[in-house]
Amino acid sequence: MKFLTYAHQGNTSFGAIVNDGIVDLGKRHPELADLRAAIQADQLTSLAAEATSAAADASLADITYLPTIPNPEKIICIGVNYANRNAEYKDGSEPPKYPSIFMRARDSLTGHEQPLMDPPESEQLDYEGEIVIVVSKTGRRIAEEAAHEYIAGLTIMNEGSVRDWLRHSKFNVTQGKNFERSGSLGPWLVTPDELDPMSEHRITTRVNGEVRQNDTTESIIFPFRYLISYLSKFYRLQPGDVIATGTPNGAGARFDPPKYLKGGDVVEVEVPGIGTLSNRVETERV
């Protein structure tokens, strides 16, 4: 089943996609504040069954998409997690022993079909297509063999980066990863009954129709099972937490000359079985 968060006729809700329509589950279940609350209550399976036999309340064409999980406790991002991506740095380094990890703030992400904001402080806004794990339940020190039990489903992120601001300090990338609405999350969450999170997945990023990134999860250094286990050693993972699992090679900064985003560009990140996350770049006015 596909679940999403959206706005329609002035109201924000969450729902399930049935054919080309949306069953408004937030309206039907006022006791569930949002999709994160539905995950926390372990209600996705029963909600999916309910939605299957319900009439749609809105069409996909009539809604405004919001980030799939608009209010995660944690947005955890994994850096340099594809083997080709590590080689892309051309620094002669061996594959990393442990994952590189950083955090994003909620307001750094927007929804599907909403504008990505190109900030006036930089001319180096870049794209990074990523597959995202949404955590299903609370866990600490999770064994790798049990990791699949902690996945509510998968979604997509354009983990937008402002490249020159990544280098403003010596040991962190926080500034360049947290410009308001510089990235996106969506269009929806696909549950494991419809798409096996642990199978091989292809991810493709296009800018104005040109393929820039194209790889599969067979190339990742730290598989999903390992990431969940490793992160849970120091985090207490919570329902609705978001884990962006890394981007393949082909980001704009790696071209010669670089191909950074500008106003009017359209970025599409596609993962078969999930869908396509699409955003147009808009120059932010101040």
DSSP 98-151: S-EEEE--GGGEE-TTSPEEE-TT-S-EE--EEEEEEE-S-BSS--GGGGGGGE
**Which pLDDT score is estimated for 87?**
55
Last residue of a domain, one of 65, 92, 119: 65
Angstrom distance (rounded) from CA 154 to CA 277:
13
Up-side HSE of residue 221: CA atoms within 13 Å toward CB?
21
* Predicted pLDDT at 88: 55
What pLDDT is attached to residue 226?
98
Residue 43: give the domain boundaries. 2-65
pTM to 2 decimal places:
0.96
Given a cut of 70, the residues of the chain with pLDDT beneath it are: 85-93
Residue type, 58: A
84 and 59 co-located in one domain: no
79 and 53 co-located in one domain? no
For residue 116, being part of any structural domain is answered with yes
Same domain, yes or no: 165 and 272:
yes
Report the number of secondary-structure helices (H) and strands (E) in the chain: 5, 19
pLDDT value of position 138: 98
Of 65, 91, 108, the last residue of a domain is 65
pLDDT at 20: 86
201 occurs within a structural domain: yes
Give me the pLDDT at residue 124, please. 98
Residue with tokens 């009439």: 55
- Predicted confidence at residue 94, as pLDDT, reads 77
Number of structural domains, the chain? 2
Does residue 205 contact residue 120 with C-beta atoms inside 8 Å?
no
> What pLDDT shows up at residue 85?
58
pLDDT (tens digit, 9 = 90+) per residue, 154-200? 999 999 999 999 999 988 899 999 999 999 999 999 999 999 999 99
